[in-house]
Structure 1
């Protein structure tokens, strides 16, 4: 672990960077996941959505958020514009801890609301990308004089227990990212997060809500093909990191809604029988024609479902806001 102060000064806030991800961790994790998710015989092929977000993947996802079919980003922003002040007052927090991107406009809406309320003391951006996080921390420190920025480089699936303590904390998990976790994974996430909170501290959770299936299909199968390019990009990641010889154009993108599980499922479908070499792992993987590689699930929620899942972890829902169309929800839950 590394801790470093990167500036005081009258013109800039103090910044501390705490690193829990070691060099090579991501590569080792990818190797293990590919061995289990692609190379084990007799199980459906699957990868975690985290591998979609290399530099190119992140650029493509940013394009997706601006597509007319993709509503979640706009709807969540609508809620924050209307209710950031309510969130600041209801949480009573002096520390904002954000899991994921620490440089978005949504973050600033919350920081500004807490500053107007006179409570803002500390910002803790938490992200797996050290380079991005260092840049984001310095940017926020420059924009908010006097704010203590304590950046944590970590994976929320492994390092929630390393979140800094002290003050009255509000953990923001926005963008509907919670939907990428399956039910058992969500339960573990909520339980671990709640265990680290003090009574009265809270979670601000963004969730995409169940809606017309045609709208869900359009959001993940856009007419411009950006989501398809985003999905196939994971094959380029595997080519680069594993020396693989995937031909992305031989895989079709499809993201249907799974009624039984209540999620949109991102799939890459092999258009022909093929064998892909994985030289770094000294393995190969066979695909039958029509065989599916699942790259992401995106769960869609009922309002009561969110409340029930939080309650099981000891988090009491105190406020909930939706956009005018009822597409998306922000839930504020406090530890009992």
Structure 2
């Protein structure tokens, strides 16, 4: 009896739509299955991948100043986190805030209830006295509901360099929409990866061990598993680029030869020419001027920049005007 794969229709539709674009693409949000998560943890520990270490340095060395800035003249606030991940950096702040006797509630937002359950368990283990109120749902919907019951100042956390994965225009529009769901005086604490030596940037996406290459190729393996496709990963090379003028880092999977890939589960055939590229990811790097323009466009004023000692990364605090 032939084994049939149960197809996730959304996954199939998103993958095929992206591959039918010109140039061909794959959605980077699908990097993160169990193997993708494992590889990304490995990436974060690489020598070349400076981003996580730089931001961890910021939250550790500036936590007292960060708290002071969050409070401003207020007695309390709600700390709302978008996409908390495993919460490692957030825990540093939460622990400090609780130890200082701060009156605040921590509200991580995520579309997945199981992610929130894991996060809550992990955070409470590290910070047992924390007041936590998880919110399951879409960012904007959750923020809009919080805003309509506005009882205290909201401080949004958007750590990591997640904004960079949107690209420039989509990033600006995302921040504008965040701003539309906040009240005057609310704050946003957001991470930006700064423009720097182009070789340092490129090395972070093209490490010596090839972990980032495996992370990108794993997306093809996922499609093989979930859509019964026959990608041969050895027929692709991972190729990242960095443009020091625009600040865009892009990753591609390049077909080494002309080939056909069949997706048996959905009866779809992909044709690839020799050296044709599939765009998998964008990771924007920013100048301080670009950050200023982003804040202004979205209806915020910049309160303060917190950087690491090498100025590789910035966590920028903005206030809704």
TM-score, normalized by length of structure 1? Answer: 0.85
Does 1:181 find its partner at 2:166? yes
Alpha-carbon deviation of 1:36?
1.7
Residue number in structure 1 paired with 2:298: 313
Alpha-carbon deviation of 1:146?
4.7
Residue number in structure 2 paired with 1:283: 268
Q: Which moved more, 1:141-150 or 1:241-250?
A: 141-150
Does 1:94 find its partner at 2:77? yes
2:238 to 253, 260, 263: 253
Residue number in structure 1 paired with 2:19: 38
Alpha-carbon deviation of 1:304?
1.6
Tell me if the contact between 1:274 and 1:288 (Cα under 8 Å) persists in the aligned partners: yes
Matches of 1:230 and 1:284 in 2, distance apart?
Answer: 24
Aligned residues: 308
Alpha-carbon deviation of 1:303?
1.0
1:255 alignment partner, SS class: strand
Moved over 6 A (4+): none
Alignment of 1:224-239 (within 5 A): 224-239=209-224
Alpha-carbon deviation of 1:331?
0.1
- Please give the per-residue CA displacement for 1:117-144, whole angstroms capped at 9, x wherever unaligned: 4334311122344323211112323444
- Please give the per-residue CA displacement for 1:59-78, whole angstroms capped at 9, x wherever unaligned: 11111111111101101111
Residue number in structure 1 paired with 2:92: 109
Matches of 1:206 and 1:319 in 2, distance apart?
Answer: 12
- Please give the per-residue CA displacement for 1:124-175, whole angstroms capped at 9, x wherever unaligned: 122344323211112323444453322234455x656456344322111111
Matches of 2:145 and 2:109 in 1, distance apart?
Answer: 8
1:325 alignment partner, SS class: coil
Matches of 1:221 and 1:325 in 2, distance apart?
Answer: 21
Tell me if the contact between 2:195 and 2:244 (Cα under 8 Å) persists in the aligned partners: no
Tell me if the contact between 2:143 and 2:182 (Cα under 8 Å) persists in the aligned partners: no
1:171 to 134, 156, 159: 156
Tell me if the contact between 1:179 and 1:299 (Cα under 8 Å) persists in the aligned partners: yes
Matches of 2:157 and 2:58 in 1, distance apart?
Answer: 14
1:301 alignment partner, SS class: coil
Alpha-carbon deviation of 1:31?
2.5
* Structure-2 change in CA distance of 1:164 and 1:237 (3 Å): farther
Alpha-carbon deviation of 1:112?
2.0
* Structure-2 change in CA distance of 1:241 and 1:120 (3 Å): farther
1:272 alignment partner, SS class: coil
Matches of 1:186 and 1:232 in 2, distance apart?
Answer: 26
Residue number in structure 1 paired with 2:3: none
Matches of 2:228 and 2:45 in 1, distance apart?
Answer: 33
Q: Which moved more, 1:279-288 or 1:297-306?
A: 279-288
1:295 to 268, 277, 280: 280
* Structure-2 change in CA distance of 1:239 and 1:128 (3 Å): farther
Runs of 5+ consecutive residues of structure 2 not aligned to the other structure: 1-6
2:56 to 72, 77, 93: 77
* Structure-2 change in CA distance of 1:288 and 1:160 (3 Å): farther
Runs of 5+ consecutive residues of structure 1 not aligned to the other structure: 1-25
